[in-house]
Structure 1
Amino acid sequence: MLLRSLTLTIALTLSLAAAPAFSEERPGVLKLLPQDAVTEHEATIGGRKLDYTATAGTLDLFGQDGNQTGAIFYTAYTAKNAGANRPLTFAFNGGPGAASAFLHLGLVGPRILDFGPQARDGAHAKLTDNPESWLDFTDLVLIDPIGTGWSRTAKADDAKDYYSVGSDAQSIAKAISLYVAHNNRAASPKYLLGESYGGFRAAKVAGALQESQGIIVAGAIMLSPLLEAQLMFNADEFALGAALELPSLAAAEMDRRGAFSAEKQTEAERFALGDYLTTLVGPEPSGDAAKAFYAKVSGLTGIPEDVVTRSRGFLGNAFAKNSGKEKGEVMSPYDAGFASPDPYPESDYDRGDDAILDGFTRAYGGAFSDYARNELGFKTEMTYSLLDNDVNRQWEWGGRGGGSRLQASVTGDIRQLLASNPSFHLLIAHGYSDLVTPYGVSRYVVDHLPQSLAKDRVQLDVYRGGHMFYTNADQRAAFTADAKAFYAKNGGIQPSD
């Protein structure tokens, strides 16, 4: 669906020379990073005209010897004449290895990438104005972790020092602290917004800010977050993981048929944690009981009954190649309702690139690079790294709060944040048909938080679509409205705004 039109006036406060002004004082590849670019803008956001300042720049990191070790790229949007106590939200994506352009141009920024009427055309995507930018109710700072975007270490070999749960959280916390200090924002209520691994990161960063920087956040918004890896990554081996995943498969099947129903979705959730779970936990069913069970699961998910039977009802690895096999289609785990032509129809395994992650959403990278250069005045010859798989492969899940990938968890972090900070509030948002981080896992985590901590402070909202449901204009608008209400409810929007 096409976005509504928006009036945007840009007045550059910099001299945009043809060649970028590099900083020769910086070591190594950091020489390619220009000075911070500051531009002034006027836009119609949230139904009103808003004057704001955009800053595209870097925050420098230093070692104990006083030498610069790296630089973190960020983009900040601040409303003019709004006061020093306006909410301030720091946003980052996940991966690990993803830059913030997804959230930036997909959800919260004043400019947004439109993928066309079907929300999937990356080749003809157009940057347009975002009338529902979160700048309506909070200032924004979009952060790219080391190894993503234009964030780099001075020495290439040093980058791996940032590729772990603990060091990543500490570096982001340091960047946030530097921004707050440089811009005199200590009085602002501070929020964190993280997508996917970024949701996991938000919990870790909140803890690091509190412990090492003396900054206590007012709340966090976790979008399609990783919360409990053991309930996600073993869904084809363990009954509880499979049961928490099943509602997402049911939602995807209804979407593919154009028959989504909240009532039917609730029925699928009850079945998943009822007969489905108890059957998977027990011995393999047989006879008429087995036939009835597998037929029920097949009807809910659209996966052929023989495939359901062969897998004993564990479907995480079966949905991609079987949900649309008769049409020669393959489904994406990022949205199990999203069908695309199967590049390897002769194979029983999903061998091709993902049509969402490796397809149209890659356009965010080129679009942001062009936007930063031509509208924000940040000109560099460095390549903007949207999604670096090498970062993901090198990631160390061990160390403080990490453990192995299968043991990754932030449930304990969430409990500690709620317990130690009575002002902390949490909003978790998911897409119904997301198989990468199924909403059922987050619901399980939320349902098992002590009510003494979670009551009126933790909410879970679910929207139509998948991992990046915000690429759909209707769902993006609904989520933005809910986010605005979340800030207002928690004292994050001042009357003068």
Structure 2
Amino acid sequence: MKMRALLMAMVMAVATPAFAESELNKTDAEKTEAAKPIPDPVMFESKHTGTFGTAKVAYTVEAGETYIKGEDGEPAASLFTTSYVADKAGSARPVTFIFNGGPGSASVWLHMGLLGPKRAQVASGADADDGAAPYRLVDNPLSILDVTDLVFIDPVGTGYSRTIGKGENKDYWSAAGDTASISEFIRIWITTHKRWNAPKYLIGESFGTTRAAYIANELTTGDVDIALNGIVLISQALDYEGSTSVHDNMYSYITYLPSMAATAQYHGKAGLGIPQSDFLAEARTFARDEYGPALMKGDRLSAEERAHIRDRLAYFTGLDPAYIETSDLRILMHRFQKELLRDKGVALGRLDGRYLGDEADDAAEGPEDDVSSYAISSAYSALMNQYLSADLGVEMDRPYMVSSADAGEQWIFRDVPEGEYWEPHYVNAGRKLTTAMRHNTALKVMVASGYFDLICPFFDAEVTFARYGIPQDRVALTYYQGGHMMYLNEGALKALSADIRTFYAGRLADIRPD
């Protein structure tokens, strides 16, 4: 190897000035990207049967790579997907494309938690973490595989998906690149499987709902017109102003308050003896009609008005009035997570406020981590990897990335091409969904929210879907006794699965809000 390196150095030394200069001007990343190989795509197929709903279904699993071409027509990205296709499906059988969020998350959560034929079983009551292996993988008769084929998509940088050839992560870690690659995959899939005339659905969770809105808009208004029949948005995040708890974002104090009330009541700190529906209706009204106007007045509130708002906030949140006064009537979510049960030395989860984490630093302003994430992630990671290899026969030479910190940290949120003027603002895909629904009058949307979701609050879903001109008669808002991944709660899992079945049956009006 040393001799080869020496020979290469000699060649470079006598190279023409132009060649030497061009090579010197290339960054290390450019040299690496230019040299990336394009291996043949892999696909692993296996046959299975299962009972879903009340039907026994024979199906084929196609777990493997689909190449997405770059502008030069050469493969630039490999999307690893897992497709569940009913045997003898026929061209009119519905198909659903599914993805999680992050950005930077694989589709493992919806795959192993709600929709796949197998399910990771974790503590339903949020009263225990997943511990260490062995974990339980159980049959999932609640899967809708009897109703629709299921295609789980892992975006670039997650799962086994990656860039190849001259492709770069930055080409796909943005709204435009992400939307284009997944929309192209959908076109390829329905072409390969001869399903152009089949009903088509999207199911997304969290940032995956943002992604779904962008994709729906692209499929509707792009060069290739693909009309969707329905979209299921789980823990919606279309307007990030309503789901970003930071100082000076006045809107977020309003949207998060009912979720704080729900969580405080769950932990016995507020709303004692009051039915949940009544308490949360009261919290919504206060947030909208009193708290919002008070925040707009700011320091111009009279002493009496300020005391009234402080005491009402204490009533709904269970926090000490003195703490609320010190917080200037503005409670950031990460502080609420730490403060509500500070006397017990535990912090609330963010994705799910039912979860409690016993942290070492009881004096900290906020939690050091999200217990509702680390309490289940080991089980999901282990079972996904075990399932892929043992059940589906997948053999890959790289790790399955359940979550990519790089994708999350390097994601480009600007929504105009590089070089064009852009002033930073909150991500908002609301109008994208509006356009898709108004161009396609058959498109219906189901929005599922968890009462204890402290990152994508349920009240924000209500406010968001009342704006932007979204057709109200084609939207169903539903609520569950869980958090961001409400299906972790067994009762919520059954209710959500039943509601999704009702949605697919076209009975939007029959879906009960709660």
TM-score, length-scaled by structure 1:
0.87
In 1, distance between residues paired with 2:477 and 2:43? 37
Q: CA contact under 8 A between 2:61 and 2:83: conserved in structure 1?
A: yes
What are the residue-to-residue correspondences of 1:181-200 with 2, within 5 Å?
181-200=191-210
In 2 relative to 1, CA 373–404 (structure 1 residues): closer, same or farther, beyond 3 Å?
farther
Q: Which runs of 5+ in 2 are unaligned?
A: 1-34, 509-514
Secondary structure, aligned partner of 2:138: strand
Aligned to 1:24: none
In 1, distance between residues paired with 2:262 and 2:409? 31
In 2 relative to 1, CA 60–238 (structure 1 residues): closer, same or farther, beyond 3 Å?
closer
Aligned to 2:292: 277
Matched, 1:131 2:141: yes
Q: How many equivalent pairs are there?
A: 461
Matched, 1:261 2:276: yes
Aligned to 1:433: 452
Larger Rg: 2
Give the C-alpha shift of residue 360 in structure 1: 1.8
In 2 relative to 1, CA 378–245 (structure 1 residues): closer, same or farther, beyond 3 Å?
same
In 2 relative to 1, CA 386–443 (structure 1 residues): closer, same or farther, beyond 3 Å?
same
Q: CA contact under 8 A between 1:237 and 1:314: conserved in structure 2?
A: no
Give the C-alpha shift of residue 232 in structure 1: 2.6
In 2 relative to 1, CA 244–63 (structure 1 residues): closer, same or farther, beyond 3 Å?
closer
Q: CA contact under 8 A between 1:165 and 1:401: conserved in structure 2?
A: no
Of 439, 446, 463 in structure 2, the residue corresponding to residue 420 of structure 1 is: 439
Query: 199-208 or 39-48, which moves further after superposition?
Result: 39-48
Aligned to 1:305: 321
Give the C-alpha shift of residue 199 in structure 1: 0.1
In 2 relative to 1, CA 186–463 (structure 1 residues): closer, same or farther, beyond 3 Å?
same
In 2 relative to 1, CA 246–265 (structure 1 residues): closer, same or farther, beyond 3 Å?
same
Secondary structure, aligned partner of 2:288: helix
In 2, distance between residues paired with 1:91 and 1:244? 27
Aligned to 1:60: 67
Deviations 1:214-250 (A, max 9, x none): 2121121111121111233256424332111100000
Aligned to 1:247: 258
Secondary structure, aligned partner of 2:497: helix
Give the C-alpha shift of residue 449 in structure 1: 4.4
What are the residue-to-residue correspondences of 1:95-494 with 2, within 5 Å?
95-119=102-126, 120-123=128-131, 124=133, 125-154=135-164, 158-210=168-220, 211-233=222-244, 236-257=247-268, 261-284=276-299, 285=301, 287-317=303-333, 318-350=335-367, 352-400=368-416, 406-450=425-469, 454-489=471-506
Give the C-alpha shift of residue 484 in structure 1: 0.9
In 2 relative to 1, CA 92–405 (structure 1 residues): closer, same or farther, beyond 3 Å?
farther
Query: 139-148 or 70-79, which moves further after superposition?
Result: 70-79
- Output the amino acid matched with 2:142: E
TM-score, length-scaled by structure 2:
0.84
In 2, distance between residues paired with 1:405 and 1:462? 32
In 2 relative to 1, CA 414–117 (structure 1 residues): closer, same or farther, beyond 3 Å?
closer
Q: CA contact under 8 A between 1:235 and 1:245: conserved in structure 2?
A: no
Deviations 1:90-115 (A, max 9, x none): 00011110000011001100000001
Of 42, 49, 56 in structure 1, the residue corresponding to residue 56 of structure 2 is: 49
Give the C-alpha shift of residue 156 in structure 1: 8.7
In 1, distance between residues paired with 2:417 and 2:157? 21
Q: CA contact under 8 A between 1:425 and 1:490: conserved in structure 2?
A: no
In 2, distance between residues paired with 1:362 and 1:270? 40
In 1, distance between residues paired with 2:491 and 2:428? 32
Deviations 1:356-379 (A, max 9, x none): 224422432222111011101111
Give the C-alpha shift of residue 64 in structure 1: 3.9
In 2, distance between residues paired with 1:190 and 1:435? 31
Give the C-alpha shift of residue 291 in structure 1: 3.3
Secondary structure, aligned partner of 1:333: coil
Q: CA contact under 8 A between 2:466 and 2:472: conserved in structure 1?
A: no
**Identity %, equivalent residues:** 30
Q: CA contact under 8 A between 1:236 and 1:315: conserved in structure 2?
A: no
Secondary structure, aligned partner of 1:489: coil
Q: CA contact under 8 A between 2:258 and 2:459: conserved in structure 1?
A: yes
- Output the amino acid matched with 1:232: S
Query: 66-75 or 284-293, which moves further after superposition?
Result: 284-293
Q: CA contact under 8 A between 2:76 and 2:167: conserved in structure 1?
A: no
- Output the amino acid matched with 1:239: M
In 1, distance between residues paired with 2:346 and 2:427? 33
In 1, distance between residues paired with 2:417 and 2:310? 40
Q: CA contact under 8 A between 2:99 and 2:110: conserved in structure 1?
A: yes
In 2 relative to 1, CA 302–46 (structure 1 residues): closer, same or farther, beyond 3 Å?
same
Give the C-alpha shift of residue 155 in structure 1: 5.2
Q: CA contact under 8 A between 1:52 and 1:78: conserved in structure 2?
A: yes
- Output the amino acid matched with 2:492: Q
In 1, distance between residues paired with 2:211 and 2:395? 29
Aligned to 1:83: 90
